[in-house]
Chains A and B, each alone.
Chain A
């Protein structure tokens, strides 16, 4: 008889046991897959989004918040800095490039960023339609934002004050769409871009003297490595502004998150070990019930290696199903997170990305199956036909 038919029959003869063992393993594997997908993509996105930005300079407050708000567009602004101070800093000899950022307004939860095209150039963004903004109140939309808001070139809209939908609407000054960007799979896809002056215009500060004008932050690219040593200290000590390094802050964020990730990995590993134990016990117990089955098969001329193989196959079939199901669960969780949770969609994380680590998970699961079934399989191999059949 075909080994697969035999193993399949034994597995389906005890459906509850089989389902329990598969589910248990799939839970462990599912958690690890989810973490792997999330962590890897999150780090990739983080580094994609902060590429070309050495330093963020903004109002004093939490440096992590400053980075999250101005680089990743997640958190709220820390406050404003004076335009004059920012411009002074831009001209510093250690600064190669300084990009102004004016944040704080949004349209239907999509953030409006007052900046210049140097910012979109960081993402190597190109237009799929229309032109770049050149006059005040002209807006270029990221691809995902344009799609979600069903905005076309030529449409107009009123921005809302604040980063949530319920802010006061700036109805006196309507923005006009002039272009849509190609998808860049970065945070730029979810932003609406305009110039800094538009933000001032909307807030009626256009006509105040330059000395009173403010922006949210400056994104700085260093001229040379010495700047990394001198600029942050200079800014933090001698100005009213604070400087935060995206690389340092994200590393700090990951070390904080890392504890949680480690705990989850620990829990998942425990579940996997328990599931391995459960499979071992299931095989070991079923073997007692199947001693006679095996002796009968042997009496019919089935070789002992075939019995050994059937037990190992049974163990690995369980772990194979468990790990495949677990990997599917992992992707399904990420899919749910990115489609059902709005913040999830904004992260740009995809459920359809596969990592080499998943192949390793699969291989390790198969190995676990072999390992758990070795002792029962060895017992099956050594079945004393005469003893079992003569009832001793």
Chain B
């Protein structure tokens, strides 16, 4: 169990007056919102309304110029590039729409990219029924297997926050259901806060906490 670093509030994600100006001049306001620790939340909105941008801002992949972002009590907007690397390594797990796995490496090596914790990798592969695929090449995996490997990879650092970008948009109803169930289960097991950016309306019924953008 991780110690709550921000004592004033239970909010693991805190956003105030956040806006982002794209290099081409377009500006998006995200306003204020907070997400509680352990809560699961949807970021909804049409394509191009800034869901991915917000997700990247929260995960420290993108630097915001105005406003405040506090994740796990850390002011992300104030971090330097190296501090952002450490921040992501310690606190964040990313899941992307394309389960981009590194094909030059095998399944286990993909998990060990940032953190050389073999027992953690084995534990995750086991809990996601991937143990048999440990030394398999990425090309030999099915789409579903690849998605589970990508989820396992995001969980390597026991992230306090899991940020998922359109994890279900390419899936049929059955698989969509399975992936969401899986994500919610693993988030619960790892005591992680799950934030999903999506325009997939199939997910709306599953989450009571929803943030609408645009």
Contact = CB atoms under 8 A, between A and B. Distances in A.
A9 B82 CA distance: 26
A300 B153 contact: yes
A389 B114 contact: no
Given A2-B116, A13-B104, A300 B109 contact: no
Nearest to B98: A292
Given A13-B103, A293-B100, A301 B89 contact: yes
Interface of B: 52-53, 56, 59, 61-62, 81-82, 85-90, 92, 94, 96, 98, 100, 102-105, 109, 112-114, 116, 153, 156-157, 165
Contacts of A9: 104-105, 109
A349 B18 CA distance: 77
A357 interface: no
Q: Closest 9 A-B residue pairs measured CB to CB?
A: A301-B89, A13-B104, A300-B114, A301-B88, A386-B62, A9-B104, A390-B52, A299-B94, A385-B61
A390 B104 contact: no
Contacts of B109: 1, 5, 9
Interface string A111-155: 000000000000000000000000000000000000000000000
Contacts of B85: 298, 301-304
Interface string A295-322: 0111111111000000000000000000
Contacts of B90: 301
Contacts of B82: 303
Given A9-B104, A299-B61, A300-B88, A1 B113 contact: yes
A10 interface: yes
15 contacts: A9-B104, A292-B98, A293-B104, A296-B94, A296-B113, A298-B88, A300-B88, A301-B85, A301-B87, A301-B157, A302-B89, A302-B114, A304-B85, A389-B56, A389-B61
Interface of A: 1-2, 5-6, 9-10, 12-13, 292-293, 296-304, 385-386, 389-390
A302 B104 contact: no
Contacts of A293: 100, 102, 104
A288 to B, nearest CB: 14
Given A1-B116, A9-B105, A293-B102, A299 B86 contact: no
Nearest to A289: B103
Contacts of B81: 304
A390 B88 contact: no
A301 B100 contact: no
A389 B96 contact: yes
Residue of A9, A12, A13, A389 most packed against chain B (CB within 10 A): A389
B99 to A, nearest CB: 10
Contacts of A302: 85, 89, 113-114
Nearest to A385: B61
B61 A292 contact: no
B53 A299 contact: no
Given A1-B112, A9-B104, A300 B61 contact: no
Contacts of A304: 81, 85
Contacts of A13: 103-104
B114 A297 contact: yes
A12 B103 CA distance: 11
A303 B157 CA distance: 16
A9 B135 CA distance: 13
Contacts of A389: 52, 56, 61, 96, 165
Given A299-B88, A303-B85, 4 more contacts: A5-B109, A12-B104, A293-B102, A299-B59
A125 to B, nearest CB: 62
A297 B113 contact: yes
A386 B56 contact: yes
Contact of A1 (B53, B96, B114, B165): B114
A299 B56 CA distance: 9
Nearest to B97: A391
Nearest to A12: B104
Contacts of A298: 61, 85, 88
Contact of A301 (B53, B103, B114): B114
A149 to B, nearest CB: 59
A296 B102 contact: yes
B104 A10 contact: yes
A275 B189 CA distance: 52
A386 B89 contact: no
Contacts of B59: 299
Contacts of B153: 300
A304 B165 CA distance: 23
Contacts of B156: 300
A5 B114 CA distance: 13
A356 B94 CA distance: 52
A301 B116 CA distance: 13
A13 B105 CA distance: 8
Contacts of A303: 82, 85
Contact of A390 (B53, B86, B89, B113): B53
